[in-house]
Amino acid sequence: MTASDPTGTVADLLCALTREEKLGLVRGTSDPEGAATGYVAGVERLGVPPFRLVDGPLGVRAGGREATAFPASLALAAAFDPDLAREAGAALGREAKARGQDAVLAPGANVVRVPACGRNFEYYSEDPALAGRLAAAVIEGLQSEDVVATVKHYVANNQETDRCRVSAEVDERTLRELYLRPFRAAVEAGAGSVMAAYNRVNGTYVTEHRHLLRDVLKGEWGFDGYVVSDWFATESTVDAANAGLDLEMPGVPAAGEDDAAGGASSEFDPEAGGDFAGGIPDITRGGLFGAPLGEAIDAGEVPEDRLDDMVARILGQMERVGRLDGDRDGGAIDTPEHRALAEGIAARGTVLLENDGVLPLSDAASVAAIGPNVRDATLGGGGSSETTPFDATSPAEGIRARADGAVTVARGVPPIEERSLFDALPFGDEGGGDEAGSDGEADGWDDEAAGDPHPDLDEAVAAARGADVAVVFVRDTATEGMDRDDLRLPGEQNDLVRAVAAANDRTAVVVNSSGPVELPWRDDVAAILEAWYPGQADGRAIASILYGDRDPSGRLPITFAAEDDYPATEPARYPGVDGRARYEEGLLVGYRHFDVAAVEPVYPFGHGLSYADFAYGDGVVVDGSAVGVDVENVGDRPGREVVQAYVRPPSVDGVERPVRELAGFAAISLAPGERRRVALDLDERAFGRYDPDAGWTIDSGSYDVEIGRSIEDVRTEVTIER
């Protein structure tokens, strides 16, 4: 079935539905059970059940009820493991089903352009090939469980500052080669839904962008699912409907009352949001696809068959996931498998940035576990991805449970407070988000009883001095609706690290961050682990890495650099001037920028150390679209190596291209002394460039393929002719 030519049940329903009923299917309304993030009332007369959409991507946020709090998308990305991403998607799908939900508002596939963007933790990478492969895998997993995946936020929603108004001024080639690519991969993977973002692209709101919705997404890519608006992002009736928006969400004002019914929401002023101004949508808006759409059709401003197409697309997805066949069954939540998966992803996504040999810890070592939030699991950032876990393990608990030696715990400096979009909304956090004890108690600790009522730097220093090893946990704070102020660690954490490192030269630092952070003390400490936002399994996962039960095999899916060294730092580029953010850096985002910049990044894309040691043989060309290399574990511990391939295009007169682009990656686990061949499939689009006239073009010539363990650590090279 295609949306434009429905058959069977969907076609029959289209014939039977009245205009009024059709209008009810393209607009959200309040969930009587209060669980769904978005709710489409069904048509009882014809046996069309209600359809429920629920937030992700870090877990299922159904009306504040508990669910497995999975690691942040960025942590999943750092594992460089599409199979794991597929498992994560399937688990999310089962949890959504168990909560009676039909569609999940995930994955987030925006390319990381702005290092301080408040939602980078919900995204995968600065590289579109990596983001696309992971988004596709999560979608395959989700949809294998018969729930609809919703890839978001289409497109160029790369900052939270002013997200509801800003226009991304971006040329077509950059759009195609960077920002659209993960979405195309998502559509190719069969995503049933695409969420149109709040922002504008080249002056037009995405929710009413004909070129992006109708021509590219539905036309060129053949997307036959439905386009849903981001929440309160629908800007118009006629333009949005004609551009290709299919479903208005949530369709009613946030207070749950219809349109101009008054009440709390009618007094809401998004501009009063303080730091969130421009990041908060107008929640008093709803109903543009209700009666006004009927009137527009009557007036001849929207073709009648556009409404049929909208309905067919929505019903088509309902049918695909079995919603039209009767009751949903199954699903599973908080199973031992899901708990283990959450822990496995958190561990596999942990990146060992530095290690002078202090890690892994010996079982018997005495450890000082230090950090302002060491007694809290770092679940995620603020906003619609907040997930309330059944249970969570803090770093302090995880280390205590694993250590044989003595463990002392000290906070050292005041806790880093969470920030959440929900704090700025009149209805508060209706969907979860108790950050597992930002008060320090959800992990079972009581500060008074633990003898640490007030954080005290001297006490932390004394604990560090008295232990064999000090492990300091530091974190940032990030939320939807607002970008981070800068890339510095908030509060007094840098002072804490410096003081502890001065007291104990065997100091390891674990960073929990939503994206790159500056680590000014990095030369003064013995080891650094980047563990992102690890979710409910935080303490267990990090203990398994610290003690070497698992190899830290994560790799950076984003470049770490000093804030001023990134390309989008001038106000005209970010956050924009007069409502326009000019993407003047074009394709030179992330490592594409650092490949030509005068400065070196602090940690390059793809970087990550291991407790093992790997030797590479000579690369071979398997065929025009795959390369191989023998990798041997020459260390004395088992390890997992992520092998990466970057394509260097030939130079062609008059054509500017990035120096290199990630084309493929594959991971291999090896016992000490073991040697095996790794095969890497190469993404065809890494060879191509988008020519605004000719479309995707592959220039003939020699393409060098660099194979190695990061973009800076190339071990062997082969050439492919095209």
Annotate each residue in 251-270 with x if it binds ligand BGC (CB under 6 A) or - if it does not, as one string: --------------------
Give SS3 for 639.
strand
* Alpha helices by DSSP H, 530-623: 538-546, 591-594
Distance, in Å, from the CA atom of 472 to the CA atom of 408, rounded to the nearest integer, reads 12
Q: How far is the CB of 281 from ligand BGC (least distance, A)?
A: 7
In the bound state with ligand BGC, the residue whose beta carbon lies nearer, of 344 and 381, is 381
Annotate each residue in 196-235 with x if it binds ligand BGC (CB under 6 A) or - if it does not, as one string: ----------------------------------xx----
In the bound state with ligand BGC, the residue whose beta carbon lies nearer, of 515 and 619, is 515
In the bound state with ligand BGC, the residue whose beta carbon lies nearer, of 230 and 435, is 230
Q: How far is the CB of 465 from ligand BGC (least distance, A)?
A: 46
Q: How far is CA 180 from CA 200, 227, 446, 620, in A?
A: 14, 15, 48, 31
Distance, in Å, from the CA atom of 201 to the CA atom of 163, rounded to the nearest integer, reads 11
In the bound state with ligand BGC, the residue whose beta carbon lies nearer, of 54 and 392, is 54
Q: Which of 561, 559, 573, 567 is nearest to 161 (CA)?
A: 573
Q: What is the dihedral of CA 319, 321, 323, 324, to 10 degrees?
A: 20
Which of 37, 207, 284, 317 binds ligand BGC (CB under 6 A)? It is 37
Q: How far is the CB of 523 from ligand BGC (least distance, A)?
A: 39
By CB under 6 A, tell whether 152 contacts ligand BGC: yes
Annotate each residue in 123-142 with x if it binds ligand BGC (CB under 6 A) or - if it does not, as one string: --------------------
Q: How far is the CB of 139 from ligand BGC (least distance, A)?
A: 15
Return the amino acid letter for 689.
Answer: R
Q: How far is the CB of 231 from ligand BGC (least distance, A)?
A: 4
By CB under 6 A, tell whether 160 contacts ligand BGC: no
Active site members: 230
Residues 602 and 522: beta-carbon distance below 8 Å = yes
Distance, in Å, from the CA atom of 538 to the CA atom of 473, rounded to the nearest integer, reads 11
Q: Which of 469, 512, 523 is nearest to 361 (CA)?
A: 469
Return the amino acid letter for 62.
Answer: A
By CB under 6 A, tell whether 193 contacts ligand BGC: no
Q: How far is the CB of 232 from ligand BGC (least distance, A)?
A: 8
Annotate 521-545 with three-state secondary structure: CHHHCCEEEECCCCHHHHHHHHHHH
Angle (deg, nearest 10), helices 82-98 and 336-348: 140
By CB under 6 A, tell whether 21 contacts ligand BGC: no
In the bound state with ligand BGC, the residue whose beta carbon lies nearer, of 77 and 588, is 77
Q: How far is the CB of 157 from ligand BGC (least distance, A)?
A: 8
Q: Which residue is nearest to ligand BGC (CB)?
A: 384
Which of 30, 237, 384, 633 binds ligand BGC (CB under 6 A)? It is 384
In the bound state with ligand BGC, the residue whose beta carbon lies nearer, of 55 and 683, is 55
Q: How far is CA 527 from CA 201, 361, 471, 521, 546, in A?
A: 42, 11, 9, 11, 10
Q: How far is the CB of 605 from ligand BGC (least distance, A)?
A: 26
Q: Which residue shows structure tokens 């009440």? A: 263
Q: How far is the CB of 412 from ligand BGC (least distance, A)?
A: 35
Residues 359 and 611: beta-carbon distance below 8 Å = yes
Contacts with ligand BGC in 405-464 (CB under 6 A)?
none
In the bound state with ligand BGC, the residue whose beta carbon lies nearer, of 319 and 483, is 483
Residues 73 and 349: beta-carbon distance below 8 Å = no
Which of 23, 31, 36, 55 binds ligand BGC (CB under 6 A)? It is 55
Question: What are the beta bridge partners of residue 202?
Answer: none
By CB under 6 A, tell whether 105 contacts ligand BGC: yes
Distance, in Å, from the CA atom of 525 to the CA atom of 509, rounded to the nearest integer, reads 7
Upstream peptide bond of 338 is cis (omega within 30 degrees of 0): no
Q: Which of 113, 166, 200, 154 is nearest to 581 (CA)?
A: 166
In the bound state with ligand BGC, the residue whose beta carbon lies nearer, of 37 and 394, is 37
Residues 109 and 57: beta-carbon distance below 8 Å = no
In the bound state with ligand BGC, the residue whose beta carbon lies nearer, of 152 and 402, is 152
Question: What are the beta bridge partners of residue 641?
Answer: 668
* H-helix or E-strand spanning residue 167: strand 167-169
Residues 489 and 460: beta-carbon distance below 8 Å = no
The residue ranges that bind ligand BGC (CB under 6 A) are 37, 55, 105, 152-153, 230-231, 384
